[in-house]
Amino acid sequence: MERSRADGGGGMSRDVSSCNTYNYGDAAYWDARYVAEAEMGHFDWYQRYTALRPFVRSYVPDFSSPILVVGCGNALMSEDMVKDGYQDIMNIDVSSVAVHMMSRKYEGIPHLKYIKMDVRDMSFFSDRSFDCVLDKGTLDSLMCGTDAPASAAQMLGEVSRILKAGGVYMLITYGDPSVRMPHLDRPEYGWQVILFIIPRPGYEKPANCTSTRSFLEPVPLTEEGLLPRDFYLEDKDSHYIYVCKKMDEDQISRTIPDANHSE
């Protein structure tokens, strides 16, 4: 994508301001791209695992946890996670070219599996199959495609279905809360959403910057799911990490008001 973050105010609409003329939601586009860029080796969207490691290790402490990486492409993320100790990583992508390339590359590593699949229909997986679903840019790609809100709802509904109670959907995106929380903060998913904001790779803090906030600290959200008006965004092209924790039925019942007691 040409830009690393979305302009505010997008709501439930397509990310028009952050998309170029390519159809990132089209499998044919990705097949052609991976064929054209085969000699380049690999490409990691937004952040490498080294930057995301503290968040993954914090929310997925068990190395044997089943993990799903959606829209894996030809990134090194899953390989780096195996090197870090994770033992069960399923990778899916809508591109048959990417899946074929990665399956051949890692055929000797049993901890990594690759399957061609559309995130909007993951019926291959049973309910409550994974402790973690990792997404670096897949939801963003759908938001640049046709029927973006419907595609996002299909994907996120499937993610919620295959997550175990207590599991997490970790979304790394350019989308700030104004354009992502309307999709994530929906009662049918049963998620508690925690937000982190990290600078883009290579960002250097200005010498006159006095902010002491740690990027490992959760960022507070207003009741409307927005950043506080006085929140200082140090890097204007930051990446947003939404940790969506799947609540169990008791937790969900405590967060949704009983309609029978409403006035």
The CATH number for 196's domain is 3.40.50.150
Tell me if 40 is assigned to some domain.
yes
- Sign of torsion over alpha carbons 196, 11, 252, 141: negative
Tell me if 46 is assigned to some domain.
yes
Rounded to a whole number of angstroms, the distance between the first and last alpha carbons of the chain is 47
**Cα(180)–Cα(135) distance, integer angstroms:** 13
The beta strand positions in 148-188, using DSSP E, are 163-173
Tell me if 226 is assigned to some domain.
no
Tell me if 51 is assigned to some domain.
yes
**Cα(150)–Cα(2) distance, integer angstroms:** 23
Tell me if 9 is assigned to some domain.
no
The pLDDT tens digits along the chain (263 residues) read 333 333 333 455 555 555 654 666 677 777 677 676 766 667 677 999 999 999 999 999 999 999 999 999 999 999 999 999 999 999 999 999 999 999 999 999 999 999 999 999 999 999 999 999 999 999 999 998 888 999 999 999 999 999 999 999 999 999 999 999 999 999 999 999 999 999 999 888 887 777 778 899 999 999 999 999 999 888 999 999 999 999 987 676 666 554 333 33
Going by their DSSP bridges, the two strands 89-93 and 112-116 should be labelled as parallel
Tell me if 1 is assigned to some domain.
no
Domain of residue 100, residue span:
16-201+231-261
**Cα(17)–Cα(184) distance, integer angstroms:** 20
The total number of structural domains in the chain stands at: 1
CA angle 38, 39, 43 (to 5 degrees): 65
Tell me if 8 is assigned to some domain.
no
Tell me if 6 is assigned to some domain.
no
